[in-house]
Structure 1
Amino acid sequence: MQISILAVGRFRSAAQKTLYEDYAARLKKGALLGPLRLQEVEEKRNLAPEQLKQREGELLGRALRDGARSIALDEQGDSLDSLQMADLLGGWREQGVRETAFLIGGADGLSDSLRQRADRTISLGRLTWPHMLVRVLLAEQVFRANAILAGHPYHRGS
């Protein structure tokens, strides 16, 4: 199954990009959950916050491939632990889902229409994370989910 991260904005820090690429490289073709694909979108026009959020939602919606299951990242979403994330992704894989896309909005979050369109909405906890680090956190959690599903000792949680 292909995992995609569709995100507003572009990496600006080489260190953050390197961290992301490290986890993405571990999910090579042939992994249960992989390879990992990142697609970044960006609106360059200076728009009012609500207009910008709507436009970013349109750009992310266009990047979402037909037939892909989508998971919106939102502070109001469900909190999953790593085993639950592995169960979710593994279950979709067993159902024959070919691609799962995580949706990361801009500074003002995801548009309502994109959140409503998502198959699931999850939160990475109650803390606020920089959008660029969310890519890294997701890449690590997808790698961890893959390790859990493959019975690899990377995940040592209970």
Structure 2
Amino acid sequence: MLLHVIARGKIARSPEGELVDRYAQRIAWPLKLTELPERGGRVPDPATPVRRVLLDERGRQLTSEALAAQLGQWRDGGVRECRFELGAADGHGDDGRAGADLLLAFGAATWPHLLARAMLMEQLYRATTIIAGHPYHRSG
């Protein structure tokens, strides 16, 4: 299954960008990173079937194991692409949230947009290693 991260704004050369690159190189699953301008720009046409995960402050707070289980279930169920969408500074509109398969939050705190992107990449790496049985994730 393709993991496709679609984010508003350019990460460029930054400490967060280095983290995104580091985890992108480690993820063994097919991965695509798409950056869109803050406003406008066209979201690429999805593969079929596809699942949409929006990072949103109103979303569910999943454990790493629960995220891995959801990704594994979608993959094993024939989903070809899972899109992770990070909105601009103002987040996603009601229409975007309504069309999502999952709203995902990284806790109750508000995180800087670029840091949220790096955190997502780490969680995708962690989830794929959990599914693979790799020792990166140590659960208590």
Could you list the runs of 5+ residues in structure 1 that have no partner in the other structure?
Answer: 44-51
State the TM-score, normalizing by the size of structure 2. Answer: 0.92
Is the 8 Å Cα contact of residues 76 and 123 (structure 1) preserved in structure 2? Answer: yes
Secondary structure of 1:63's match? coil
Q: CA deviation at 1:154?
A: 0.4
> Which residue of structure 1 aligns with residue 80 of structure 2?
98
One-letter amino acid of the structure 2 residue matched with residue 99 of structure 1: E
State the alpha-carbon separation in 1 of the partners of residues 7 and 75 from structure 2.
22
> Which residue of structure 1 aligns with residue 46 of structure 2?
65
Is the 8 Å Cα contact of residues 77 and 123 (structure 1) preserved in structure 2? Answer: yes
Q: How does 1:41-80 map to 2 (within 5 A)?
A: 41-43=36-38, 55=40, 59=41, 62-63=43-44, 65-67=46-48, 68-80=50-62
**Higher normalized helix content (fraction of residues):** 1
Relative to 1, partners in 2 of residues 1:150 and 1:104: Cα closer, same or farther, differing over 3 Å? same
Q: Which has the larger radius of gyration?
A: 1
Could you list the runs of 5+ residues in structure 2 that have no partner in the other structure?
Answer: none
Q: CA deviation at 1:133?
A: 1.1
Q: CA deviation at 1:14?
A: 2.6
State the TM-score, normalizing by the size of structure 1. Answer: 0.82
Percent identity between the aligned chains?
42
Is the 8 Å Cα contact of residues 64 and 101 (structure 1) preserved in structure 2? Answer: no
Q: How many residues align?
A: 139
**Post-superposition, which runs of at least 4 consecutive aligned residues in structure 1 deviate over 6 A?**
none
Relative to 1, partners in 2 of residues 1:128 and 1:16: Cα closer, same or farther, differing over 3 Å? same
Is the 8 Å Cα contact of residues 6 and 64 (structure 1) preserved in structure 2? Answer: no
